[in-house]
């Protein structure tokens, strides 16, 4: 039962993080090009601020439940190759998220507060590239987790 709950929490948090990145990158970002920088950049700073709070909780839940699943099923030595790969990819994704949250995101907020639109746009462009990277890693990780399950 505890393993089932850990699996549920793991998947729920993956949905929040990867689904949120998919929406932000594929739907919200292209549509916001309709707005001028003084509207678009503060809106993105506020939207990302809210989303990153949820991502921080999702990352903690994914790592915690992931280690719980490993510990409850015989430890790392008994885990398949797909779990080893998922752990590495998940930790890289978490590091990319922490970098976004502590480097370009505060730059976006500070530049938007100063109404320095060129610097705010540059910080947002960095965030966009890193979110695209994490989205790609997230989709690959889901593939590794699900497709690898029957084969490793
Ligand atoms: C420290 C990071 C992570 C650890 C330790 C971890 C660990 C695990 C473990 C042990 C399982 C059960 C595997 C099995 O029953 O064969 C699992 C399932 C899964 N994980 Fe992770 N995981 C991590 C990160 C991630 C990330 C970042 C994603 C996606 C972006 C992800 C997606 C999944 C999915 C979709 C499943 C369900 C697979 C299935 O039931 O077919 N995991 N994870």
pLDDT (tens digit, 9 = 90+) per residue, 85-117? 999 999 999 999 999 999 999 999 999 999 999
pLDDT the model gives residue 152: 59
Q: How many CA atoms lie within 13 A of 54 on its CB side?
A: 14
CA-closest residue to ligand 1 atom 5: 66
> Is residue 8 pLDDT above 80, yes or no?
yes
pLDDT (tens digit, 9 = 90+) per residue, 39-69? 999 999 999 999 999 999 999 999 999 999 9
Ligand 1 in contact with 145 (CB < 6 A)?
A: yes
Ligand 1 in contact with 124 (CB < 6 A)?
A: no
Cα(100) to centroid(ligand 1), Å? 23
Q: Where are the domains of the chain?
A: 2-149
pLDDT the model gives residue 87: 98
**What's this model's pTM, rounded to 2 decimal places?**
0.95
- Report the percent of the chain where pLDDT is more than 70: 99
pLDDT the model gives residue 1: 87
């Amino acid at each position: 039962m505890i393993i089932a709950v850990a699996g549920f929490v793991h998947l729920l948090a993956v949905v929040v993080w990867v689904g949120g990145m998919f929406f932000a990158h594929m739907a919200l970002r292209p549509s916001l090009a309709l707005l001028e920088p003084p509207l678009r950049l503060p809106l993105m700073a506020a939207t990302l601020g809210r989303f990153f709070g949820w991502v921080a909780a999702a990352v903690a839940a994914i790592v915690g439940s992931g280690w719980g699943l490993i510990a409850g099923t015989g430890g790392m030595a008994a885990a398949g190759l797909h779990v080893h790969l998922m752990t590495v990819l998940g930790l890289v994704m978490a590091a990319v998220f922490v970098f976004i949250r502590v480097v370009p995101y505060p730059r976006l907020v500070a530049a938007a507060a100063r109404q320095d639109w060129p610097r705010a746009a540059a910080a947002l462009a960095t965030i966009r590239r890193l979110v695209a990277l994490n989205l790609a890693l997230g989709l690959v990780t889901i593939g590794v987790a699900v497709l690898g399950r029957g084969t490793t």
